[in-house]
Amino acid sequence: MTAALHLAEALIARPSTTPDDAGCQALVATRLAALGFECETIESGPDDFRVVNLWARRRGPRPGPCFVFAGHTDVVPTGPLAQWTSDPFTPTHRDGKLYGRGAADMKSSIAAMVVAAEEFVAAHPAHAGTIGFLLTSDEEGPALDGTVKVVDLLAARGERLDMCVVGEPTCVDTLGDMVKNGRRGSLSGRLRVVGIQGHIAYPQLARNPVHQFAPALAELAAVEWDRGNDYFPPTSWQVSNIHAGTGAGNVIPGEVVVDFNFRFCTESTPDTLKARVADVLDRHGLEYTIDWTLGGEPFLTPVGTLTEALGAAIHDETGVVAALSTTGGTSDGRFIAKHCPQVMEFGPCNASIHKIDEHVAAADVERLKNIYRRLLEKLLP
């Protein structure tokens, strides 16, 4: 049992469903404080959804960049317990895998980061620059009182962040095969197209909003929003739900409600996307309203110091050449990137995240720790 694997088990054993940290950050803070980290707990949110955040920092005696490990201690709900082969909050080993909620997303990463820092500081107590840890218990939830609050507070204090690795599970088939150097933005809309309700036998006395919206829907689905770029695929627009009607088969509905989402790249902005949607709807003469929700803007770390150092650390440990990717959903990297010029994500394989019997290869926890330690050695010698 390695130190990283043992710590991963200790974290998995804490039932930290959002926003309950369940003592995970206190465990991490105790380990970091023993290394000379200054640890600060930052709480935010209403009493019925109190979020705990940890900001920890160790300044080396020599000048250098501020490098941050970031992640979340909260996990998604377990789902039906009867469907789990073993208790989700009892770390269990089977066939070389460590099972438990959060094993892959992302308690193994946090354990690997902490032990990597312990090994690095033991070998390099006079390291250059600063090592930071930013942990939240509100990543899997609404993400209103977590990382975004911490980075805004640090910015207000004038604390500089130069580079950051978020421990999200990024790999596909084998440890090290993929890292994220950016993420697409997410912009959602709820569209209400207004018609006139009436009897289905007298359409001349009504106005069917479903019929009115159908041509606009076809046009929106066919729009080329942009062509993407070297780092991002083209922006996509997808409908997630359409609802109309009263439930009766003889009533023309008075409105149709359409939920949709953009996953957009750096070639588009929220304002341009909103304007183009409005242009289509206006040209079709629709009576409508839209409520917009910006889930996050895209961010990108071009090839440079952090991408090269992380790629080299992965190759040195595994022999794998990591692919750069911006695919997938949003992450807390979107908040950090507003205050930190180089943000990347790297963690274990993601095939089982949020699933029943979530797991990680036990051997990968130690190898992940070694990659994180090698990264510190390259960035803060």
For 147-172, what is each residue's pLDDT tens digit?
999 999 999 999 999 999 999 999 99
Please report, rounded to a whole number, the percentage of residues in the chain having pLDDT higher than 70: 100
- Sorting pLDDT into bands at 50, 70 and 90, what band is 330? confident
Catalytic choice (20, 74, 118, 366): 74
- Is 364 designated active site? no
Q: Which fold has domain 185-296?
A: Alpha-Beta Plaits (3.30.70)
Task: State the pLDDT at residue 329.
Answer: 83
Cis peptide bond upstream of 209, omega within 30: no
List b or e across 223-250, with b for residues whose CB sees 16 or more CB atoms inside 10 angstroms: eebbebeebbeebebeeeeeebeeeeee
The CATH architecture of the domain made up of 3-183+298-379 is 3-Layer(aba) Sandwich (3.40)
Provide the whole-model pTM: 0.90
- Is 139 designated active site? yes
pLDDT at 324 over 90: yes
- For residues 237-245, average pLDDT: 97
Tell me if 3-183+298-379 shares its fold with 185-296.
no
- Sorting pLDDT into bands at 50, 70 and 90, what band is 328? confident
Catalytic choice (20, 119, 138, 139): 139
First-last CA distance in the chain:
29
Binding-site residues for Zn(2+), in ranges, read 72, 105, 140, 168, 354
Q: Structural domain boundaries of the chain?
A: 3-183+298-379, 185-296
Encode pLDDT of 14-50 as tens digits.
999 999 999 999 999 999 999 999 999 999 999 999 9
List b or e across 196-217, with b for residues whose CB sees 16 or more CB atoms inside 10 angstroms: ebbeeeeeeebbbbbebbeebb
Burial class (CB in 10 A: 0-12, 13-18, 19+), 85: exposed
- Sorting pLDDT into bands at 50, 70 and 90, what band is 240? very high
Binding-site residues, in ranges, read 72, 105, 140, 168, 354
pLDDT at 1 over 90: no
